[in-house]
Chains A and B, each alone.
Chain A
Amino acid sequence: MTASGATLLGADNKAGVAEIVAAAEYLMKHPEIPHGAIRVGFTPDEEVGARNEVLRRQEVRRRLRLHDGRRDQGRDRDGNLVRRRDHDQLPGQQHASRLRQGEDDQRHQGRGGFHQPPPQGPALAGDDGGVRRIRAPLRRQRVGREDLGEAPPPRLQDGEAAGAGGDPHEARATRPCPPGPAPPSSSKSKSRTAT
């Protein structure tokens, strides 16, 4: 399978999302398979998410945390009180403290150009153990070829000098660079301190 070509990536990570959903469906259809509380989280913009904390730490703590002991009982589909098997408290909790002071939560705000989740948080499913359907807040922005097609870039006529008109980027690119000093020889530059 390949991607349709309409979006940035194909197999990575749509394949992974499909597999996770398929596994969730399988587990829901096979309640005889014992398993602990499972939460499923999908983050947008995995590839460029480095500077966008789309998953805020508080959200991770609150929504992905396995039960803390106070909520270790629940009701199954028939309303019977059952004890949940929860495997661990958030096992890496102490690592959150390794983050620098102030480096969390709302840090992604104000960084333009990225797909940001609305303030209420990312799409994380699961409150009480089972896999369930949720309504995920989603902000869509579509920029396709057709959206850009209204103003095609001006084309240079044959014989017209580049830079004489039309695309301002062309003009800039063809303007000669002002003469600069010769680059230092490598032996000199080693002994000099950067200013």
Chain B
Amino acid sequence: MSAWPGATVEFKVEESYRNMKEVLDDHPQVVENAREAIRRTGLALREHPIRGGTDGSRLCFMGLPTPNIFAGEHNFHSRLEWVSAQDMELAAKVIVELAKVWEERA
């Protein structure tokens, strides 16, 4: 900075979202039920944290633990995003199974 006399730097931090894991860890049944729904649909579980996220992470801190489940899409955020009808069908089945799992475990 001293090489550019008179220059100023403005530094501002704005929180956009937080890590939903803080909230999900306190409510393990939410993710566990999703796992069970996916298993019952006949799919192999593949879990991984994902960078980013806005609405789910915000909803978590609004009091509604909101992990993400798959929608089946490929090539996210590119011009060539696509999804297969078969995967969409499986995703819808997972949601139906999820409703059943929550009812059973209520």
Interface residues of A (CB under 8 A from B): 1-3, 5, 9-13, 15-16, 18-20, 22-23, 26-27, 33-36, 38, 43, 46-51, 53-55, 57, 60-61, 64, 85-88, 90-96, 98-100, 103-104, 180-184, 188-189, 192-195
Contact = CB atoms under 8 A, between A and B. Distances in A.
Given A91-B30, A95-B60, A15 B91 contact: yes
A24 to B, nearest CB: 8
A170 B75 CA distance: 34
Contacts of A9: 77, 81
Given A26-B96, A60-B64, A192-B2, A12 B54 contact: no
A36 B73 contact: no
Q: Top 8 nearest A-B pairs by Cβ distance? A: A11-B73, A50-B16, A23-B95, A16-B71, A10-B81, A11-B83, A35-B99, A22-B92
Interface residues of B, number: 53
A91 B32 CA distance: 14
A92 B1 contact: no
A151 B35 CA distance: 54
Interface string B68-85: 000111111101111111
A23 to B, nearest CB: 4
A173 B84 CA distance: 45
B7 A195 contact: yes
Interface string B44-87: 00000000001100111111110000011111110111111100
B9 interface: yes
A40 to B, nearest CB: 10
For chain A, what secondary structure do more than half of its interface residues adopt (helix, strand, loop), or is it mixed?
loop
Contact of A48 (B54, B72, B83, B95): B54
Given A27-B99, A95-B23, A95-B60, 9 more contacts: A18-B88, A20-B92, A49-B54, A55-B55, A55-B62, A90-B64, A92-B27, A96-B61, A195-B1
Contacts of A180: 4
For chain B, what secondary structure do more than half of its interface residues adopt (helix, strand, loop), or is it mixed?
loop
Contacts of A3: 81
Contacts of B72: 11, 15, 19
Contacts of B103: 34-36, 85, 87
A92 B65 contact: yes
B19 to A, nearest CB: 12
B15 to A, nearest CB: 8
Contacts of B15: 100, 103
A157 B24 CA distance: 61
A87 B16 contact: no
A53 B3 contact: no
